[in-house]
Amino acid sequence: MISAFDLFKIGIGPSSSHTVGPMVAAARFRAGLGPATRRVRAEIFGSLAWTGRGHGTDIAIFLGLLGEDPATVDPDAVAGLVSGLAAARRIAIPGSPAGAAFDPGSDLVFNLTEILPRHTNGMRFRAYDAAGTCLSEQDFYSIGGGFVVGAQEGTEGLLAEAALPFASGAELLDLCARTGLSVPQVQFANELTQRERGAIEAGLDAIRDAMFACIERGLRQEGELPGGLKVRRRARRLHEALEGSRLANDRPAHEIMDWISLFALAVNEENASGGRVVTAPTNGAAGIVPAVLRYTRDFCPGWSDARGRDFLLSAAAIGGLIKRRASISGAEVGCQGEVGSAAAMAAAGLAAALGGSAYQVENAAEIAMEHHLGMTCDPIGGLVQIPCIERNAFGANKAIVAASLALRGDGQHRVSLDEVIETMRQTGADMQSKYKETALGGLAVNVAAC
């Protein structure tokens, strides 16, 4: 299985595959350097090169080479760390008093013409001795959701031992039918192979709290997002307007949709500014699961910590299936793999939290994914702003519609989750590369970036 704690990673924006992954890869490379290293160079390829500056890939690699970690780095300290590196042009290496030279202006190469063989999000790091001889060369791939693999590493290393293994939606349903367990109970049983009960519950609560904290911070901020598109934050003003309507008792029936959109916008504006977010399952789609989870807490009766855990466990079960059977990487399958996956996860989580059967949970995920099929990833200026932020608002609302439709039914439906995941995979394979997080097609070329 893929653990909930691997799918939901606390980190920083704006991108899990273009920011979190490269930071992890750079830190892994740095940790393996020997004391003879005197210079380090990095090269990024494919989607990382084409949209890397807009996604903060360069900054992420700088931070990783400085030894920073996505889960612990202070977003407010990033600018100072980067400017310090630019001034010193040197990184510290464990066990080496002298460290190694690294000039951010010349030692990071954006290779716009080549793609490494395994994935479009490829990176290559090299270490040199005092004579300029290459001591080490390592390739890494950021395969979506902050997951990183080396050139010789298989994705099986991302999987954890499972007490109740399932490799498809059909197997999950059969497992629930045979054991009498719900979807979140199956995922919890599998998490117990890695952690004790108390640690799992505390970890899920910490993920929930980080999601809600991101929403709250997003509701307080204002001004323009960085990057030059002059996109203004909207969450604070929308929140004030909704609160005004509430106090004036002037609330249209569709206002609930505005609240859901507000929660998603708040998260993704934080993500676009490089703030603290939870990858769910990516940063570009990080607002959907928190928005629907917040909707569950604020607008559905019977909220409890246990209900929140059931939500996250069910979302993780579905997200793990999608990652294993298709992809959650926009650079690999387009935005259907990011927003579509997040909507499926959120729909499943909501259906489970509201007491849905395993069949209804699977149906909710299928509906949400089906109606994101074919969505391209075409960020204007390579920034995770337009259309990414609004897509999260739509994805969150779609997830709730999907869960509601599933809960109104008996779980029986014509199209299975497995079939729609396979369709998403095939659609991504057929999709032209310019629509897969390259900023070379779609809105990215038809809307002026400045």
Q: Would you state the pLDDT for residue 84?
A: 97
Same domain, 263 and 326: yes
448 within some domain: no
442 within some domain: no
Same domain, 95 and 239: no
8 within some domain: no
Residues 200-206 have a mean pLDDT of 98
Please tell me the distance from the alpha carbon of residue 343 to that of residue 432, in angstroms, as a whole number: 23
Residues 192-213 have a mean pLDDT of 97
Runs of H (alpha helix) within 56-138: 57-65, 78-88
Residues 257-273 have a mean pLDDT of 97
Of the pLDDT bands very low, low, confident and very high (cuts 50, 70, 90), residue 145 is confident
Closest to 298 (Cα-Cα) out of 403, 213, 212: 212
What tens digit of pLDDT does each residue of 222-247 get? Answer: 999 999 999 999 999 999 999 998 87
Given a cut of 80, whether residue 154 has pLDDT beyond it is no
Same domain, 200 and 141: no
Q: Would you state the pLDDT for residue 159?
A: 74
**Contact between 6 and 132 (Cβ < 8 Å):** no
- Residue 128 CB coordination number (10 Å): 19
Given a cut of 60, whether residue 63 has pLDDT beyond it is yes
Residues 149-170 have a mean pLDDT of 86
What is the dihedral sign for C-alpha 325, 329, 334, 337?
Answer: positive
Of the pLDDT bands very low, low, confident and very high (cuts 50, 70, 90), residue 151 is confident
Please tell me the distance from the alpha carbon of residue 58 to that of residue 53, in angstroms, as a whole number: 6
- pTM comes to 0.92
Please tell me the distance from the alpha carbon of residue 364 to that of residue 404, in angstroms, as a whole number: 8
157 within some domain: no
The length of the chain, given as a count of residues: 450
176 within some domain: yes
**Across all residues in the chain, what is the average pLDDT?**
95
The region of weakest confidence among 145-149, 153-157, 180-184, 308-312 is: 153-157
| Domain of residue 112, CATH code | 3.30.1330.90
Residues 49-63 have a mean pLDDT of 94
Q: Which domain holds residue 260?
A: 169-435
Same domain, 182 and 318: yes
Secondary structure class of 284 (helix, strand, coil): coil
227 within some domain: yes
Same domain, 177 and 323: yes
Token digits for 7? Answer: 């799918």
Please tell me the distance from the alpha carbon of residue 11 to that of residue 21, in angstroms, as a whole number: 10
Q: Would you state the pLDDT for residue 144?
A: 87
Residues 358-378 have a mean pLDDT of 98
Residues 15-23 have a mean pLDDT of 93
Secondary structure class of 11 (helix, strand, coil): strand
Residues 365-374 have a mean pLDDT of 98
Of the pLDDT bands very low, low, confident and very high (cuts 50, 70, 90), residue 152 is confident
First to last CA, the chain: 44
Same domain, 244 and 285: yes
What tens digit of pLDDT does each residue of 401-427 get? Answer: 999 999 999 989 999 999 999 999 999
Closest to 191 (Cα-Cα) out of 365, 327, 317, 94: 317
Exposed e or buried b for every residue in 306-331, given b needs 16+ CB within 10 A? ebbbbbbbbbbbbbbbbbbbbbbbbb
Same domain, 143 and 223: no
| Domain of residue 422, CATH code | 1.10.4100
What tens digit of pLDDT does each residue of 327-347 get? Answer: 999 999 999 999 999 999 999
Residues 148-158 have a mean pLDDT of 79
Same domain, 138 and 182: no
Cα 54 to the chain's mean position, in Å?
16
**Contact between 188 and 318 (Cβ < 8 Å):** no
Token digits for 233? Answer: 């934050």
Same domain, 337 and 405: yes
302 within some domain: yes
Q: Would you state the pLDDT for residue 94?
A: 85
Closest to 349 (Cα-Cα) out of 301, 394, 294: 294
Given a cut of 70, whether residue 321 has pLDDT beyond it is yes
Q: Would you state the pLDDT for residue 449?
A: 63
Of the pLDDT bands very low, low, confident and very high (cuts 50, 70, 90), residue 156 is low
Please tell me the distance from the alpha carbon of residue 62 to that of residue 26, in angstroms, as a whole number: 8
Given a cut of 80, whether residue 258 has pLDDT beyond it is yes
* Domain end among 150, 183, 209: 150
Token digits for 139? Answer: 């390739």
Given a cut of 80, whether residue 132 has pLDDT beyond it is yes
Please tell me the distance from the alpha carbon of residue 352 to that of residue 364, in angstroms, as a whole number: 9
Given a cut of 90, whether residue 158 has pLDDT beyond it is no
Element (H, E) at 98: strand 96-101
346 within some domain: yes
Same domain, 418 and 288: yes
Same domain, 244 and 350: yes
Number of domains in the chain: 2
Q: Label residue 446 exposed, middle or buried (CB < 10 Å: 0-12, 13-18, 19+).
A: exposed
Nearest-Å Rg of the Cα atoms of the chain is 22
DSSP per-residue string spanning 362-389: HHHHHHHHHTTTT--B--GGG-S-TTHH
Element (H, E) at 50: helix 46-55
Q: Would you state the pLDDT for residue 157?
A: 64
What tens digit of pLDDT does each residue of 24-38 get? Answer: 999 999 999 999 999
DSSP per-residue string spanning 174-225: HHHHHH---HHHHHHHHHTTTS-HHHHHHHHHHHHHHHHHHHHHHHH--SBP
Same domain, 431 and 341: yes
For residue 308, give every residue at least 6 positions away whose Cβ sits within 8 Å of its Cβ, in sequence order, or none: 204, 205, 208, 293, 296, 297, 353
* Domain end among 150, 184, 206: 150
